[in-house]
Amino acid sequence: MTCLICGALYQSSATWSKLFIYNLDSSTCKRCFAKFEVSKSTTDFTDFLGTPYEGAVDSVFCLYSYNEPMKEYLHQYKFLQDVALAKVFSGKLQQVFQKIEGIVVPIPMHPKKLQVRTFSQVDELLNAAQIPFKQLITKTTPDSQGKKTKTERLKTTNLFEAIQTIEATNYILFDDIYTTGATIHHAAKILKNAGAKRVDAITLIKG
């Protein structure tokens, strides 16, 4: 097989689990994959206490830290539009989502930004991992949240809105990166206000 990151040929390692459980291959050699650091940091919701977003998110789990190899990966995937790289973390994402129950809801892109980017990086990560999801919310503004501080992000109103009926059940928000947490909390509040029982979140990266 050819590594999607470095282009080198490699052979997928055989494991006992693969004999009994269908596991997705990352299409990445061990040398490249080892450069990604597993996130060990915990998510602190202190900044959201006393705000309208307090209690919107029940838990957040982030797989990897934002080190230099991950920064390069994200740039190649999102901004250079190398959609094939969605497969790199397919196996790991599949394992994580198997451990939590709920309707998976990807954080959406604004339609104008989607036209520029040509694909939704969040949706493609889920598709590569063969994780079913529902588009239940839409983004109402094309403004980039990455250039704003946490305070500015929290002051933004109606960042998302529900486009389908939200049932009284558990939901799992998914995004590519968790930085200030404002985006996840905005989306979770929309779901909770519409009737969601519980909202957890999973992100590929902890910024």
Q: With beta carbons less than 8 A apart as the criterion, state whether 9 and 1 touch.
A: yes
Q: Where are the beta strands (DSSP E) in the chain?
A: 59-65, 103-106, 137-139, 160-162, 170-178, 198-206
Q: What is the pLDDT of residues 55-97, one digit of tens each?
A: 999 999 999 999 999 999 999 999 999 999 999 999 999 999 9
Measured CA to CA, the distance from residue 205 to residue 70 in angstroms comes to 8
Tokens 């779901």: give the residue. 191
Q: What is the pLDDT of residues 112-160, one digit of tens each?
A: 989 888 999 999 999 999 999 999 999 998 876 666 666 676 676 779 9
State both tokens at 150. 């946490």
Domain 36-206 class in CATH? alpha beta
Q: With beta carbons less than 8 A apart as the criterion, state whether 205 and 62 touch.
A: yes
Q: Where are the domains of the chain?
A: 36-206
pTM equals: 0.90
